[in-house]
């Protein structure tokens, strides 16, 4: 069993979510570290053509940089009507400096006048675990189907702009409006993480 695990993200909201999902590992005595704990500010260039390729790229980069087994992810919003954009460009659709509000407004602008069927969307994630000592690599992808509302929610989550537009069909609620219990039940990132954690525990 590994003794340390690095969660490789600079996104505070995402880090909090991932930390919840790996409690099983911390309960077994594995020390969980963040990039902030290690004073790491740099990012690898995301040159992958898919979420999975970028997740692997980030996990292997930080694992080899630190010598610590690492979990990294990549994901975003896919809108079939827009040829699956923003896709892997979800964070960079308008450039890295764009605010959450700018991304929200740009999405709404691109879907102006669209009927409900054309507003179908998916939140997709890919997670990767990489151990630099054993070269063990595990990946998992999950996604949630919903649609893009015609206006944003009143409760946007900082760092997750598209959740303010994404409506979960099952409950007819914005992702931002889910209760903690509903979020844990449907979160694509937590589903992927739980699957990877089980693989780590059994290795």
Known catalytic residues are: 74
Write down the number of H helices and E strands in the chain: 6, 8
Q: Where are the beta strands (DSSP E) in the chain?
A: 4-7, 31-34, 70-79, 85-86, 120-130, 137-148, 166-168, 173-174
- Quick check: bond before 74 cis, omega within 30? no
CA 115 to CA 80: how far, in whole Å? 13
Q: Give the helix/strand (H/E) hosting 82.
A: none
Assess contact for 147 and 116: CB atoms under 8 A: yes
C-alpha span between 165 and 182 (Å, rounded): 17
């Amino acid at each position: 069993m590994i003794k340390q695990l690095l969660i490789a993200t600079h996104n505070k909201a995402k880090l909090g979510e991932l930390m919840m999902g790996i409690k099983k590992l911390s309960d077994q005595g594995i020390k969980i570290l963040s990039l902030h704990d290690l004073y790491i500010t740099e990012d690898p260039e995301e040159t992958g053509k898919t979420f999975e390729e970028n997740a692997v790229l980030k996990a292997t980069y930080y694992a080899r940089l630190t010598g610590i087994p690492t979990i990294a992810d990549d994901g975003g919003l896919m809108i079939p009507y827009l040829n699956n954009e923003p896709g892997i460009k979800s964070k960079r659709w308008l450039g890295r400096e764009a605010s959450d509000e700018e991304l929200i407004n740009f999405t709404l602008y691109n879907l102006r006048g669209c009927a409900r069927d054309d507003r179908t969307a998916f939140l997709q994630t890919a997670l990767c675990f990489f151990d630099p000592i054993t070269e063990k690599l595990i990946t998992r992808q999950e996604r949630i189907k919903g649609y893009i509302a015609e206006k944003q929610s009143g409760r946007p989550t900082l760092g997750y702009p598209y959740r303010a537009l994404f409506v979960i069909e099952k409950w007819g609620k914005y992702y931002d409006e889910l209760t903690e219990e509903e979020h844990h039940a449907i979160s694509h990132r937590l589903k992927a993480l739980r699957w990877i954690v089980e693989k780590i525990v059994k290795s």
